[in-house]
Structure 1
Amino acid sequence: MPHTAFWHSPLISSPRALRPWLSERGSLTERLIANYPAFSVRVLAQGWARAHQDEMAILQLNGKTAVATREVLLCSNGTPLVFAHSITARSSLRGGFHLFGRSGSRPLGALLFADPTIRRSHLAWRKLNHRHPLWQKAVAAAGPQSATLWARRSVFYSGSDQLLVTEVFLTALLSSPCRTI
Structure 2
Amino acid sequence: MNKSVSEYRKIINQAQWQTPEQFQFASEHVKQWLMEQGSLTHKLLQQCQNLTVDVVTNAQCQIADIAPSESELLEDTHCWLREVVLHGDSVPWLVGRTLMPVLGMEMGNYNLSHQGNTPLGETVFASQNTARDALELTQVTVDGMPLYARRSRIWVDQTPMLVTELFLPDAPIYIAESHEWS
TM-score, with structure 2 as normaliser? 0.76
Deviation at residue 18 of structure 1 after TM alignment: 2.2
The residue number in structure 1 matching 2:75 is: 60
Match of 1:158 in 2: 156
Query: C-alpha offsets along residues 24-66 of structure 1, whole Å, 9 cap, x if unaligned?
Result: 11110011111122211111111122212210111134xxx44
SS at 2:49 equivalent: coil
Aligned residue pairs total: 160
Unaligned runs of 5+ residues in structure 2 are 1-15
Equivalent position to 2:140, from 111, 128, 141: 128
Query: Contact 2:110–2:156 (CA<8 Å) still a contact in 1?
Result: no
8 Å CA contact retained: 1:128, 1:148? yes
Report the equivalent of 2:19: 8
In structure 2, the residue matched to 1:134 is none
- Quick one: percent identity of the two aligned structures? 24
Distance in 2 between residues matched to 1:18 and 1:55, nearest whole Å: 24
Change (3 A) 1:177 1:18: same
Which consecutive unaligned segments of at least 5 residues does structure 1 have? 131-144
Q: 2:105 & 2:141 partners in 1: Cα distance?
A: 31
Q: CA RMSD in A?
A: 2.6
3-state SS in 1 of match to 2:148: strand
| Equivalent runs, 1:26-175 vs 2, <5 Å | 26-49=38-61, 50-61=65-76, 65-96=77-108, 98-129=110-141, 146-173=144-171, 174=174
Aligned structure 1 segments of 4 or more residues deviating by more than 6 angstroms: none
In the alignment, is the contact (CA less than 8 A) between 1:14 and 1:150 conserved in 2? no
- Checking the alignment, whether the CA contact within 8 Å between 1:152 and 1:167 is kept in structure 2 is yes
